[in-house]
Amino acid sequence: MKISFLGATEMVTGSCYLLTTDKHKILIDCGLFQGDSDSDDLNRNQFDFDPASIDFLLLTHSHIDHSGRIPLLVKRGFKGKILSTKATFELCSIMLPDSGYIQEMDVEWINRKRIRAGKTLIQPLYTLDDAEKSLKYFQVINYDEIIKLTDEIEVRFKDAGHVLGSAIIELWIKEKDKKIKIVFSGDLGNKDIPIMKNPSIVDEADYLIMEATYGNKVHGSIENTLLFLLDIIIHTVENGGNIVIPSFAVGRTQEILYMLNMLKESEYSKIKDIPVFVDSPLAINATNIFKSNEDLFDDETKELIRKGDNPFEFPNLIFTKTAEESKAINFHEGSCIIVSASGMCEAGRIRHHLKHNLWRGNSCVVFVGYQAKGTLGRRILDGEKKVKIFGEDIYVNCKIYNLNVLSGHADQKGLLEWFSAIKKKPVKVFLTHGEEDALLSFSKLLKENFNIEVEIASMGETVEIESVEESISIIAEKPSITHKADLNVIYDIESILNSIRETLINNSVLNDINKAKLLLEKMEDIRSQLKNLDNFIKNA
Ligand SMILES: [Zn+2]
């Protein structure tokens, strides 16, 4: 059996893996490439396989970097079955047509320019209609049930805690009378994030394909982040500016609403009257799908709803559906909070709000999710002082904040914990879905702590997978964790440092920025001394 890595290799978008057994071809995810300048080419290229030859597509979750090329796959001849959870299907039913619509609009805009330049016209990657047609290939399955796909292949989806309906996929494949278990982690959730349950534990794997988006970072605490967000809102409102939150329509927007609901319901009545606009038709539809899938929420959220406090409903929460309502936000008197998509600012209404607020010294932009290389969001976050929006140069003068603790992805500690919980460890781990630093750092950590083979998957690579009985017994004889105690100490100190850092930043919003800067430098000093200490312990 072979596995081919056809996306999300040394990057975070375009997830797509192909399993080829002696009888079948199975695709895991078929996502859009986003951000980089060559994304468009990568999306338009021929697939590395004949779409008509694929028997099953197993979809980990609805996010467009995992599902966004499904309509193209169908358009190019796929006739198999697409298996996903019910919530993933429901979310795809709104996200894929939305993506088709965006493709059509983008091409229309490009073609208008091409006509003026005397160039030939281009076709959209796929249309809204293509996207709708692709939905009829979906077949919905339940979490935690082993499904027999063929005589040789069984599959189970487990809650990955990343977004509504997200799954870790376990596959058992029989070949030449031997069974091999391959696990695809999908995107693994962040334990601290509201609404979603914690990622499920997997008991065993022969081979593991694992994401490592934050393989080199430890998120700060959610409580501090909430206070930080509150400070940002209060400070911005005092200055008469707007708070613009670029947010993924599906998942992150609902989590932000949960947090704003918490802040508004708490004693911090200062922000009770500030209007919150959710300006994204997709986010509005997604919120309705969340509301109808309460059974998938974590216990805290279920309890909140049981007590009568729906996190998606609070005073002054305004959902703006039409373009007119969206435009009217720009003429809103007084400060407001605008939550709009797309999360990486590449498309959608958020670009209008950035255009109207980036140049204003009293407004702010709060990033709450991963910003892929090359996206408008990443460029703003990286400190570019001038960006182009709708062909116009916009000066970046407002304050920029990054609350990446709100990420839907596990951080380094979360990833390591999830891997540690696998009782029978895989003989080999392929790391995907991360940028180079994250992959290298997490690969090193896995090798050091578990003494297993780790490979950073590269684009287009195909690897032969063999039965692993012997190797597993060798692994079992070795201690699985060697530096766990040391690591925990380092993590604790790291999280203390993060808390101090956030508190300092909090204060710097209101008080003496120079003093805070000095303290931050001092802390970086402590951090590097800690690193030395960590190395010293490990080498001792
Ligand atoms: Zn995702």
Range 475-495 average pLDDT: 48
What is the whole-number distance in angstroms between the Cα of residue 248 and the centre of ligand 1? 10
Q: Give residue 504's pLDDT.
A: 61
Maximal CA-CA distance, the chain: 71
What is the whole-number distance in angstroms between the Cα of residue 305 and the centre of ligand 1? 25
Query: Is the pLDDT confidence value at 421 over 90?
Result: yes
Q: Give residue 498's pLDDT.
A: 66
Query: Is the pLDDT confidence value at 514 over 80?
Result: no
What is the whole-number distance in angstroms between the Cα of residue 372 and the centre of ligand 1? 12
What is the whole-number distance in angstroms between the Cα of residue 247 and the centre of ligand 1? 13
Closest CA to 210 of 48, 445, 369, 37: 445
What is the whole-number distance in angstroms between the Cα of residue 437 and the centre of ligand 1? 19
Query: Is the pLDDT confidence value at 512 over 60?
Result: no
Which residue's entry shows tokens 């430890």? 218
Whats the size of the chain, residue-wise? Answer: 540
What is the whole-number distance in angstroms between the Cα of residue 187 and the centre of ligand 1? 5
What is the whole-number distance in angstroms between the Cα of residue 398 and the centre of ligand 1? 29
pLDDT-based confidence at residue 295 (cuts at 50, 70, 90): very high
What is the whole-number distance in angstroms between the Cα of residue 170 and the centre of ligand 1? 18
What is the whole-number distance in angstroms between the Cα of residue 408 and the centre of ligand 1? 7
What is the whole-number distance in angstroms between the Cα of residue 516 and the centre of ligand 1? 35
pLDDT-based confidence at residue 384 (cuts at 50, 70, 90): very high
Alpha carbon distance 93, 60 (integer Å): 15
Among residues of the chain, what percentage have pLDDT more than 70? 86
What is the whole-number distance in angstroms between the Cα of residue 180 and the centre of ligand 1? 26
What is the whole-number distance in angstroms between the Cα of residue 266 and the centre of ligand 1? 30
Q: Rounded to 5 degrees, what angle do the CA atoms 386, 390, 395 make?
A: 20
What is the whole-number distance in angstroms between the Cα of residue 435 and the centre of ligand 1? 15
**What's the alpha-carbon Rg for the chain, to the nearest Å?**
23
Closest CA to 522 of 496, 499, 501, 492: 501
What is the whole-number distance in angstroms between the Cα of residue 495 and the centre of ligand 1? 25
What is the whole-number distance in angstroms between the Cα of residue 8 and the centre of ligand 1? 11
Q: Give residue 481's pLDDT.
A: 38
Contact at 8 Å (CB) between 276 and 318? yes
Query: Is the pLDDT confidence value at 486 over 60?
Result: no
312-327 in b/e form (b: 16+ CB < 10 A) is bebeebebbeeeeebe
What is the whole-number distance in angstroms between the Cα of residue 535 and the centre of ligand 1? 33
pLDDT digits (tens, 9 = 90+) for 118-148: 999 999 999 999 999 999 999 999 999 999 9
Q: Which of 64-73, 157-166, 266-275, 288-297 has the lowest mean pLDDT?
A: 266-275
Alpha carbon distance 538, 524 (integer Å): 21
What is the whole-number distance in angstroms between the Cα of residue 198 and the centre of ligand 1? 15
Range 49-64 average pLDDT: 97
Q: Which of 64-73, 266-275, 342-351, 437-446 has the lowest mean pLDDT?
A: 266-275
What is the whole-number distance in angstroms between the Cα of residue 67 and the centre of ligand 1? 10
What is the whole-number distance in angstroms between the Cα of residue 23 and the centre of ligand 1? 30
What is the whole-number distance in angstroms between the Cα of residue 64 and the centre of ligand 1? 8
Q: Give residue 471's pLDDT.
A: 43
What is the whole-number distance in angstroms between the Cα of residue 267 and the centre of ligand 1? 34
pLDDT digits (tens, 9 = 90+) for 155-208: 999 999 999 999 999 999 998 888 999 999 999 999 888 999 999 999 999 999
Range 464-479 average pLDDT: 55
What is the whole-number distance in angstroms between the Cα of residue 414 and the centre of ligand 1? 16
11 versus 284: which is more confidently predicted? 284
- Cα–chain center distance at 156: 22
Query: Is the pLDDT confidence value at 474 over 60?
Result: no
Alpha carbon distance 60, 58 (integer Å): 7
7 versus 372: which is more confidently predicted? 7
CB atoms inside a 10 Å sphere around CB 70: 30
Q: Give residue 177's pLDDT.
A: 84
Q: Residue 127's beta-bridge partner residues?
A: none
The tokens describing 198, both together, are: 């914690």
CB atoms inside a 10 Å sphere around CB 57: 25
What is the whole-number distance in angstroms between the Cα of residue 518 and the centre of ligand 1? 37
What is the whole-number distance in angstroms between the Cα of residue 211 and the centre of ligand 1? 10
Q: Which of 111-115, 231-235, 511-515 has the lowest mean pLDDT?
A: 511-515
Query: Is the pLDDT confidence value at 105 over 70?
Result: yes
What is the whole-number distance in angstroms between the Cα of residue 533 and the centre of ligand 1? 35
What is the whole-number distance in angstroms between the Cα of residue 479 and the centre of ligand 1? 33
Query: Is the pLDDT confidence value at 413 over 50?
Result: yes
Q: Give residue 176's pLDDT.
A: 83
CA distance to 38, 48, 168, 301, 368, per residue, from 45 (Å): 11, 9, 28, 43, 32
Of the ranges 152-156, 191-195, 330-334, 460-464, the best mean pLDDT one: 152-156
Helix (H, G, I), strand (E, B) or coil at 342: coil
Q: Residue 364's beta-bridge partner residues?
A: 243, 399
Model-level pTM? 0.83
Closest CA to 60 of 196, 164, 174, 148: 164
What is the whole-number distance in angstroms between the Cα of residue 256 and the centre of ligand 1? 16
What is the whole-number distance in angstroms between the Cα of residue 117 and the centre of ligand 1? 38
Q: Give residue 454's pLDDT.
A: 96
What is the whole-number distance in angstroms between the Cα of residue 434 and the centre of ligand 1? 12
Query: Is the pLDDT confidence value at 483 over 60?
Result: no
What is the whole-number distance in angstroms between the Cα of residue 358 and the centre of ligand 1? 27
Range 40-66 average pLDDT: 95
CA distance to 69, 433, 441, per residue, from 14 (Å): 8, 9, 22
Q: Give residue 266's pLDDT.
A: 75
